[in-house]
Amino acid sequence: MTRSKAFIRPPRLSPGARVAIVAPSAPCLDLDDFTRADELCRALGWEPRPGRHLRDRSGYLAGTDADRLADLNDALRDDGIDGIWCIRGGYGMTRILDGLALDAVRRRPKPIIGYSDITALLNGVTGATGVVTFHGPTARAPMPPFSRRHFARVLTSPTAAGRLEPLALTDVLVPRQDRIVPLVPGRAEGPLFGGNLSLLQCLVGTPWLPSLDGAILFLEDVGEALYRVDRMLAHLRSAGTLARLAGVVVGRFTEMKREMSDGVFGFDEVLLHYFGPLGIPVVCGVPVGHIPDQWTLPLGVRARLDAGTGELELLEPAVQ
């Protein structure tokens, strides 16, 4: 898939915006998730519009493929909907990618928000249409002040968000694993792409993986053993996906098992094995991933990375 040269900014989510809450992947097992999504939407000043099949369940999916796709496409086609917020990730988005109503995305762009399994939706839509999508908190999760501040800066203001602040003002307050650490110093500029590593790997060889030439790639994952992360990066390298990156931003790889019976590598060692030879800036530990406090990153928006200082700056507005 060839990425569009000029990215299209969707309208910002202003007070009173009608936001569809959809579940294109896994089901919510706790009724509080639906209540929280409704309350969070209203707290942000938006009017929640739950999908018809939001509460459905079919095995480990939030309803049948046809029904999940219908909710998503209904929201894309409905001119009365201003934004689409996925209630959770899990698994299932890749089963319905081929049925996306991309014509509706092109006709009336609107913000699409989520992460984890939603990585497939975000990259597929932005790559195919050029419309900016948003890697950010899901609708069911509590949103602490840090996440809410970045969420609002990116989605509600038609100005460039600028430098994204770190998790805390002083390193004293931040555990080592939560600090931003430069792995390869340097500076780079390019459009942001990325998300969950497992999902990006499964898009290789499909029409849904955007071209990453000149991009700043951000990565995160959860519950993956380090050897599996190694294998996924090896796959991306062999497919040529990493060859022409401008820079790499590594988020949190939470719940990672590092040891095997045969020995252990450090996470930094594995990252440097694949990204070091590329001669591009690499930073690790940014607040992106399966964590409460996270940045909202717009796919397709041009950014500047200074890996030496661990700073990421959004150079363009993500909405209009």
220 given a catalytic annotation = yes
290 given a catalytic annotation = yes
CA distances from 222 to 168, 179, 199, 236, 253 (A): 22, 18, 11, 18, 5
Catalytic residue among 116, 147, 150, 198: 116
Catalytic residue among 135, 150, 198, 220: 220
Neighbouring CB atoms inside 10 A of 152's CB total 16
d(CA 91, CA 123): 16
Catalytic residue among 53, 135, 150, 290: 290
235 given a catalytic annotation = no
Full 3-state SS string of the chain: CCCCCCCECCCCCCCCCEEEEECCCCCCCCHHHHHHHHHHHHHCCCEEEECCCCCCCECCECCCHHHHHHHHHHHHHCCCCCEEEECCCCCCHHHCHHHCCHHHHHHCCCCEEECHHHHHHHHHHHHHHCECEEECCCCCCCCCHHHHHHHHHHHCCCCCCEECCCCCCCHHHCCHHHCCEEEECCEEEEEEEEEEHHHHHHHCCCCCCCCCCCCEEEEEEECCCHHHHHHHHHHHHHCCCCCCCCEEEEEEEECCCCEECCEECCHHHHHHHHHHHHCCCEEECCCCCCCCCCCCEEECCEEEEECCCCEEEECCCCCC
Active site residue ranges:
116, 220, 290
